[in-house]
Amino acid sequence: MADIELNAISKRFADVTAVDSMSLQVSDGRFVVLLGPTGAGKTTTLRLISGLETPEEGSVHIGGRDVTSESPAQRNVAMVFQQYSLYPHLTVRQNLEFPLKSPVLKTPSGEIKNKVQEVAEVLQISHKLSNKATELSGGEMQRVSIGRALVRSPSVFLMDEPLSSLDAKLRADLRIELKRLQSELGATMLYVTHDQVEAMTLATEVGVLDEGQLVQFGTPREVYEDPNSIYVATRLGLPRINTLPSDLFGAAPTGASTIGLRPEHIKFGEGKECTVTRVEHLGDQTRLHVELEGHRLITLADVNSAVGVGDALKVAPKNPLYFDADGQRIRH
């Protein structure tokens, strides 16, 4: 296993700057999740690390070695693709053997057999080994593609939204499995997603990306509780953080133009009067949509709350987050 270091890498496609002078440090054995919407440069970052793309500027180091000009094969990284990318003309076993038989690894056949068996058992696909890769369900395909990354014991694992095409239950199951595998192997993992639940549950560190730049990096808690900007604050947290004019509740720090209120920043029973416009019972939580002087707010109520549409409530901020006109956080 090894660490990954990106030094101010940039990548442009025609007029679009996909990755803009990004620096990132992934320490050995860490599970780093890159979070961002489509087009933020997450996948390009992974492809730059894997060697499928080469940066115009900057350098990539894996395990202390400068690999910027090396081919993907030389870098010894494993990558799991969003679309599985299992070789359709091969069986599950042949898919798992494929990296081991490569000219880079040239594994002896006895060892190949053991490793494939071992990985198949870990991922519970032993009974499917002789199936064609196309004869599997989505969950099984993604297990095989994770298996293909596991068999070769690479220096780092790169995962490009591996769970996004699976249904909710499988996604939850595989999420737990991935986390377990990673801690058992002590593997360095760089994982890309737009799903904040994956980021919060899997990551030791989260990197939030915006237009090719790394805007914040820290533990999930740090990023959630202490966001640098409105952009970062809106990436984490369900329901999303409410943003309102900063003077709505009275005095605000100088320079502040927006106040950010997560559900835990809203105190009931005092402050401004507002009206409940909708109540959503989600089972484990109850969401209240309220209207406050022409602004809409979404917050959480007690699960057993008897609040109904049309009810009047009083709300006040509690340790809210303030942002300036550019959306940057104002700390005080």
Show the tokens assigned to 54. 């080469």
Least spacing, CB of residue 156 vs other proteins, in Å: 11
Element (H, E) at 122: helix 109-122
What distances in angstroms separate CA 46 from CA 9, 39, 51, 78, 168, one per listed residue? 12, 13, 9, 11, 24
The nearer residue to other proteins, 136 or 199, going by C-beta atoms, is 136
Q: Backbone phi, then psi, for 141, in 5-degree steps?
A: -60, -45
Binding mask 202-241 for other proteins (x = CB under 8 A): ----------------------------------------
Closer residue to other proteins in complex, CB, 118/211: 118
CA dist., res. 26 & res. 70, Å (int): 19
| DSSP state string for 139-154 | HHHHHHHHHHHHTT--
Q: Which of 54, 165, 257, 285 binds other proteins (CB under 8 A)?
A: 165
Number of residues forming the site for other proteins (CB under 8 A): 32
Bridge partners of residue 127, in order along the sequence: none
Q: How far is CA 76 from CA 71, 158, 170, in A?
A: 9, 11, 29
Minimum CB–partner distance for residue 116 and other proteins (Å): 14
Asked whether the beta carbons of 272 and 316 are under 8 A apart, the reply is yes
The residue (of 50 and 243) whose beta carbon lies closer to other proteins is 50
* Interacting residues of 24 by C-beta distance below 8 A, sequence separation 6+: 4, 5, 6, 32, 45, 207, 214, 217
Task: Work out whether 131 is an interface residue with other proteins (CB under 8 A).
Answer: no
Minimum CB–partner distance for residue 185 and other proteins (Å): 18
Find the shortest distance in angstroms from Cβ 202 to other proteins.
21
CB nearer to other proteins: give 89 or 314.
89
Residue window 133-162: x/- pattern of binding to other proteins, with contact defined by CB under 8 A: xx-x-x--x------x---x----------
Cβ proximity to other proteins: between 117 and 165 the closer is 165
- Measured from the CB atom, is 22 or 77 closer to other proteins? 77
Q: Residue 129 CB, nearest distance to other proteins (Å)? A: 15
For residue 260, the SS3 value is: strand
Q: Which is nearer to other proteins, 88 or 250 (CB)?
A: 88
Angle at 156 between CA 155 and CA 159, to 5 degrees: 155
With CB under 8 A as the contact rule, the residue among 28, 59, 104, 185 that binds other proteins is: 104
**Restricting to residues 33-92, which ones interact with other proteins according to CB under 8 A?**
50-52, 71-73, 76-79, 81, 83-89
Judging by DSSP bridges, how do beta strands 266-281 and 242-245 pair with one another?
unpaired
Separation of alpha carbons 142 and 125, rounded Å: 11
- CB of residue 245 vs other proteins: minimum separation in angstroms? 44
Alpha-carbon distance of 236 to 15, in angstroms, equals 30
Query: Do 319 and 249 form a contact (C-beta atoms < 8 A)?
Result: no
Contact positions vs other proteins (CB under 8 A): 50-52, 71-73, 76-79, 81, 83-89, 98-99, 102-105, 133-134, 136, 138, 141, 148, 152, 165
